[in-house]
Amino acid sequence: MKFWRRNLFHLALAVVGLWGWFGAAYSQEGAAAPKRAKNVILMISDGAGYNSWLAAEYYHGRHGREIYQGEGWQHVACTTFPLNKSSKPKKSGLQDEYVVYDPAKAWNAEAGYQYLKSTATDSAAAGTALAIGIKTYNNAINWSDNDQPLIGKTLPEIARALGKSAGVVTSVQWSHATPATLGGAHNVSRNNYPEIAREMLRADYLQVIMGTGHPYYDDDGHKRTDDPTDKDCRYVGGLEEWKSLVSGNHPGGWTLIQTKEEFARLTQGDTPAKVVGTAQVATTLQQSRGGALGLVKEAILKSQPFEVPMNENVPSLEMMTRAALNILDSDPDGFFLMVEGGAVDWANHANQEARMIEEQTDFVAAVRAVRDWVESHSSWDETLVILTADHDCGLPWGPESNVQSFQPLVDNGVGKMPGLAYNHSGHSNMLVPVYAKGAGADALRQLVRGKDEQAGKVWGFSGEYIDNTDIFQLIRLAMQGNSPQ
Ligand SMILES: [Zn+2]
């Protein structure tokens, strides 16, 4: 069977399986309605394959004890491959069979890295799969391989149709591929930042947008201009759009916040209805810092996590997440929130293992903030939390993994960098983890498509995997319950 047919067949089975599952739950509880998720929080550590999560666990001495390894959390792996490797619509709509994840090829010691390197997705195709459940070409922002916008069915648009609020939070520019796709933008190319930002600011389904891309600041949070050009404003919609936000009269009704203090203030108490937070830094909250300190690339590569002083004028991803939750939880119908640890990917691209640990640490701190919010302001009965990555990046493996393929990372103890070496500066097609807890999380196991014995052995789990499009299905069904689309 061709992949797409197999895929459709599997999807049909999965949907029937889920309906059956919900039906069974329904009949067992008599008149009780199936459990719906009032709130869904999808947290994506961009570019963090299993070994990035593992490295941070080793560094903090929390391996096996991290939040997502605790009671009630489901764990499977996930495939992330795109429809094809084209950077623009191919107009075939057909799955390129070569890029479909195959455990036998992936773990082949001779060919493994090469196969994994040559079949990887980018964040736009992966984000589209997560946001709307459709595989597409790399660079697509909710855009089909047949060159059409995929309108009306992204997670924030579905949330809006159910009367819910929606938001996106990231540690990189807020018009970047992951917040763009999960924020329900539609564009033929992820590189059209001003257009994407303007669509996000005009979408009636977003109430929170937070990230970086500030036109006035550099990567160290130092002001470089008071008089930005249109190009300086490209990540926030261009100069006119930025002026409109600053004036407080943007047609979208946004309240713009910029300082760390403004982010902090929104973590509690009353909030404006719609907030766009643009932290005072250029590209990433922290990962790209160091240039103004005179640190050259080599010094950053040799530094230990948290050794180089942090940018002090920006919030953490954790603080942004707490602010976003406090804004969105005013909606009695609930919300959909996407939180992205966007710069884990940037650190892995640059093979900066210490920065990767820092970024994953902030991501896990944001997970902790979400857990605390669920347990103090909501409950696991009404909120679904899913943690995953959009793809692996850098192929970090053990210290001699360049000669010994897939050598495991070495745990050097608390506060010590694990033994790790990079084997790539780009993305890979390796499986990534999925952790889920709360309303509807049990359905994860209904979506399993295959088993990767080697992955199970290396990372200590069942080896069962789903596909990134299944995460969309899980969230859609959790939000909609058994109501028709
Ligand atoms: Zn990347």
Which CATH number does the domain housing residue 253 bear? 3.40.720.10
Whether residue 485 lies inside any domain: the answer is no
CA distance 163 to 48: 33
How many Å lie between the centroid of ligand 1 and the Cα of residue 460? 26
How many Å lie between the centroid of ligand 1 and the Cα of residue 209? 21
Whether residue 36 lies inside any domain: the answer is no
CA distance 175 to 190: 9
218-228, pLDDT tens digit by residue? Answer: 999 999 999 99
Confidence grade of residue 110 (pLDDT, cut at 50, 70, 90): confident
How many Å lie between the centroid of ligand 1 and the Cα of residue 279? 21
How many Å lie between the centroid of ligand 1 and the Cα of residue 425? 9
Over pLDDT 90: what percentage of the chain? Answer: 88
Contact 184, 206 (CB under 8 A): yes
How many Å lie between the centroid of ligand 1 and the Cα of residue 106? 20
Whether residue 34 lies inside any domain: the answer is no
How many Å lie between the centroid of ligand 1 and the Cα of residue 122? 6
6-59, pLDDT tens digit by residue? Answer: 454 455 545 444 444 444 444 444 334 446 899 999 999 999 999 999 999 999
How many Å lie between the centroid of ligand 1 and the Cα of residue 80? 13
Neighbours of ion ligand 1 (CB under 5 A): 345
Q: What is the pLDDT of residue 256?
A: 98
295-339, pLDDT tens digit by residue? Answer: 667 788 888 999 999 999 999 999 999 999 999 999 999 999 999
Mean residue pLDDT of the chain comes to: 92
pTM over 0.85: yes
Q: Give residue 299's domain range.
A: 3-29+41-480
How many Å lie between the centroid of ligand 1 and the Cα of residue 394? 9
239-278, pLDDT tens digit by residue? Answer: 999 999 999 999 999 999 999 999 999 999 999 999 999 9
How many Å lie between the centroid of ligand 1 and the Cα of residue 364? 19
If phi > 0 it is left, if psi is from -120 to 50 it is alpha, else beta; for residue 392 that is beta
Whether residue 167 lies inside any domain: the answer is yes
How many Å lie between the centroid of ligand 1 and the Cα of residue 350? 10
Whether residue 35 lies inside any domain: the answer is no
> Across residues 398-419, what is the average pLDDT?
97
How many Å lie between the centroid of ligand 1 and the Cα of residue 146? 24
How many Å lie between the centroid of ligand 1 and the Cα of residue 137? 15
Total structural domains in the chain?
Answer: 1
How many Å lie between the centroid of ligand 1 and the Cα of residue 189? 15
62-83, pLDDT tens digit by residue? Answer: 999 999 999 999 999 999 999 9
Whether residue 64 lies inside any domain: the answer is yes
- The closest of 269, 274, 239, 234 to 254, measured between CA atoms, is 274
How many Å lie between the centroid of ligand 1 and the Cα of residue 420? 19
How many Å lie between the centroid of ligand 1 and the Cα of residue 338? 18
Whether residue 325 lies inside any domain: the answer is yes
419-476, pLDDT tens digit by residue? Answer: 999 999 999 999 999 999 999 999 999 999 999 999 999 999 999 999 999 999 999 9
- 110 or 40, higher pLDDT: 40
How many Å lie between the centroid of ligand 1 and the Cα of residue 12? 32
Contact 132, 153 (CB under 8 A): yes
Whether residue 153 lies inside any domain: the answer is yes
Mapping DSSP onto H, E and C, the string for the chain reads CCHHHHHHHHHHHHHHHHHHHHHHHHHHCCCCCCCCCCEEEEEEECCCCHHHHHHHHHHCCCCCCCHHHCCCCEEEEEECCCCECCCCCCCCCCCCHHHCCCHHHHCCCCCHHHHHHHCCCCHHHHHHHHHHCCCCECCCECECCCCCECCCCCHHHHHHHCCCEEEEEEEEECCCHHHHHHCCCCECCCCCHHHHHHHHHHCCCCCEEEEECCCCECCCCCECCCCCCCCCCHHHCCHHHHHHHHHCCCCCCCEEECCHHHHHHCCCCCCCCCEEEECCCCCCCCCCCCCCCCCCHHHHHHCCCCCCCCCCCCCCHHHHHHHHHHHHCCCCCCEEEEEEECHHHHHHHCCCHHHHHHHHHHHHHHHHHHHHHHHHHCCCCCEEEEEECCCEECCCECCCCCCCCCCCCECCCCCCCCECECCCCCEECCCEEEEEEECCHHHHHHHCCEECHHHHHHHCCCCEEEEHHHHHHHHHHHHHCCCCC
> Across residues 126-154, what is the average pLDDT?
97
How many Å lie between the centroid of ligand 1 and the Cα of residue 47? 6
- How many CA atoms does the CB half-sphere of 174 hold within 13 Å? 32
How many Å lie between the centroid of ligand 1 and the Cα of residue 197? 19
How many Å lie between the centroid of ligand 1 and the Cα of residue 166? 25
